[in-house]
Amino acid sequence: MNLFIWSKHLKQTSDPIHEAIELRQQLADAKATVARQEEEIAELTEERAKWEDLAKSVTEHYKNSSSAATAAMESSANEKQQLQLHVASVADSLVGQIVTALSEAESAVSNAIETFSKIACDAEETAQSAMDVLGTGTASNVDGIADEAATVMGRFIEGMLLTTRQVGMSAKQIEILVSVSQKMAKLLDDVDGIARQTTLLSLNATIEAAHAGSAGSGFSVVAGEVRKLADRSRQTADRLRKLTDEVTTHSHAVCRDLGLAAENCLEESCQAQVMVNRMLDSVTHANSERQAAVEILGRKSEAISKDIYSIMVAFQFHDLLRQRLEHVADPLCTLRDTLNGQREYTASLDYAVGQNSFSACAVGTTPELEVVNYSADQDDNFILF
């Protein structure tokens, strides 16, 4: 190509010789240049061969490396999926345990509250009953009964004492009657003496009538009648004496019986009063002790109610704990759902890539081309391996 140019140029030269010399020189230069270029070409060819060898070597190495990288990324993807599966499983397990724990705790607290509620109700009812007993209930009735019994017993004792005094007065009246009877007996003695003197007088009259003879016969009859009256007076006095003796005897007996009855009555009354007082003291003491016990019971019941209220306050921390655990469980649920979603999505992409790879291979495209196109900036969700 250069010789043709130079030949054309030579024809156009006005000084052919000079031009021929120049052309020869130029030809020599051109030859030298050609020789130098041929050497350079040879060197470049040699260099190219070296680079081609190197390129082959690099290509081979790159192929090997890309295969290793592909295998590593496949392995990494598998490990990632396994890790996602494991974390999702752990999250699911934790959520399940939290939910179960919350449910069991709720149930336990609910049962405990129900039990404490029943205890509190019983305690309040007990306290109320105790207060009722202390207020208008049995305790005050017992006090009233004791007071009433003491009053009745006092009246009874007073009645017995009054009766005793009346018995004593009756005995004195009877003694007066005995004294009257004794006076009547003395009067009967006087009547008896009068009757004896009357009898003597009638005898004397009868004697004097006998001395008077027939003139004294009438007087003798009167004297006989007077003697009969004297006898009847004496007999009547004797009967009255016997009756007064009986009255005196019976009166003494009545006095004695009345005295004994009064003594017995007084003694029994005193003993009864002592016994009743002792019983009332016992009842009062027992009632006092019962009142004290009831008061203690009431106070303890109130204390139980307060304690249960405190327990209720403490149980409310269960609700706080529940809410905090729910705050833990909610992110875990989200994590679990996200991981499960990612895993399913990755699996679907794996399936799609598998299909595409099969098609690509079928038309002769090497899969390694995908490695060259891989960019580290790609989203993990879109990793094909």
Partner 1 sequence: MAKTALVVDDSTSMRQMVSMTLKGAGFQVIEGGNGQEGLDKLKGAPGSKVDLIITDLNMPIMDGLAFIRQVRAQSGSRFTPILMLTTESGDARKMEGKAAGATGWIVKPFHPDQILKVIDKVLPS
Of the candidate residues 51, 317, 345, 351, the single one contacting partner 1 (CB under 8 A): 317
222 binds partner 1 (CB under 8 A): no
Question: At closest approach, how far in Å is the CB of 123 from partner 1?
Answer: 11
Of the candidate residues 67, 316, 348, 355, the single one contacting partner 1 (CB under 8 A): 316
Of 113 and 360, the one with the shorter C-beta distance to partner 1 is: 113
110 binds partner 1 (CB under 8 A): yes
Of the candidate residues 5, 200, 309, 378, the single one contacting partner 1 (CB under 8 A): 309
351 binds partner 1 (CB under 8 A): no
Question: At closest approach, how far in Å is the CB of 300 from partner 1?
Answer: 18
Of the candidate residues 319, 330, 337, 344, the single one contacting partner 1 (CB under 8 A): 319
Question: At closest approach, how far in Å is the CB of 294 from partner 1?
Answer: 22
With a CB cutoff of 8 Å and minimum separation 6, the contacts of 56 are: none
Q: Is residue 311 classed exposed, middle or buried when 0-12, 13-18 and 19+ CB atoms within 10 A define those classes?
A: middle
51 binds partner 1 (CB under 8 A): no
Of the candidate residues 43, 114, 175, 246, the single one contacting partner 1 (CB under 8 A): 114
124 binds partner 1 (CB under 8 A): yes
117 binds partner 1 (CB under 8 A): yes
Tokens of 59: 């290509």
Of the candidate residues 30, 94, 101, 109, the single one contacting partner 1 (CB under 8 A): 109
Question: At closest approach, how far in Å is the CB of 124 from partner 1?
Answer: 7
Q: How many residues bind partner 1 (CB under 8 A)?
A: 21
- Which chain residues interact with partner 1 by CB under 8 A? 106, 109-110, 113-114, 117, 120-121, 124, 309, 312-320, 322-323
